[in-house]
Structures are given as structure tokens and as C-alpha cells.
Amino acid sequence: MKNEFIDEYLETNNYEVLGYTGDSFIFKDTEEDCLVIAKIELCFGEFQDIIKTNEMRSSLELMMIKFLMNTNYPSSPVRFDIIYLLQTNKHSAVIKHVSNAFNEEE
């Protein structure tokens, strides 16, 4: 069920979904012309920011490397995001998309 909400959100916002693995989606941001790997975080009751760690970033980097190696996708800048999904009922959800979530300046 989680993937359907995220797929719809990405398509509605003109992102090109390229794949997903576990709790992460890989897509192309056509406006910024970059590849994005986004960790999907399921929330219950309210949005709760996750603690971003170097291990989490490293895991996302490894997933992106594997994707690029397996697809021969053209070289492109890469961005790391978090998409929070708060399911409000069986048929709807609220989504909070944090672009560049692992930016060291934050």
C-alpha cells in the first residue's frame, strides 16, 4: 500500500520513477536534472523526523551505486531525500518530501 501512495505522489509531481528497493525509491527529478534516492519513512499519528546518520547515508549511496551499475544509467548528479508518509486512512495519506535531506549544512 505504501508504494501506491509514493508512486502517485512522484508521478503527480513530474518525477520519473526508475525503481525501488526495500524502503527507498529511485527517481529522476526532471526539473533539477538529477537522480534522487529517497528513503521512505512511514509515520503513525503524526510526522516524526528521523535521525539522519552517516550509516543511513552510506546505505543510500550503496543502493544508488548498485542501481547505476545494474542499469548503465548515464552519469548524473545525485540527491538524497526523505519522503515521510502519514497514512490518514485506508485510501489516503499525507506526504512530506524533504529534498537534500542529508545535506551536511542542515
> Given strand 78-89, what is the order of strands in its sheet?
15-21, 24-29, 34-43, 78-89, 92-98
CATH code: domain of residue 15: 3.40.1350.10
pTM: 0.84
- Domains in the chain, number: 1
Residue 45 lies in a domain: yes
pLDDT per residue, tens digit, the chain (106 aa), is: 357 888 889 999 989 999 888 889 999 998 999 999 999 998 887 777 777 888 888 999 999 988 988 988 888 899 999 999 988 887 888 999 999 998 755 4
Residue 105 lies in a domain: no
CA-nearest of 87, 83, 78, 85 to 97 is: 83
Residues with Cβ within 8 Å of 99's Cβ and at least 6 positions away in sequence, in order, are 36, 79, 81
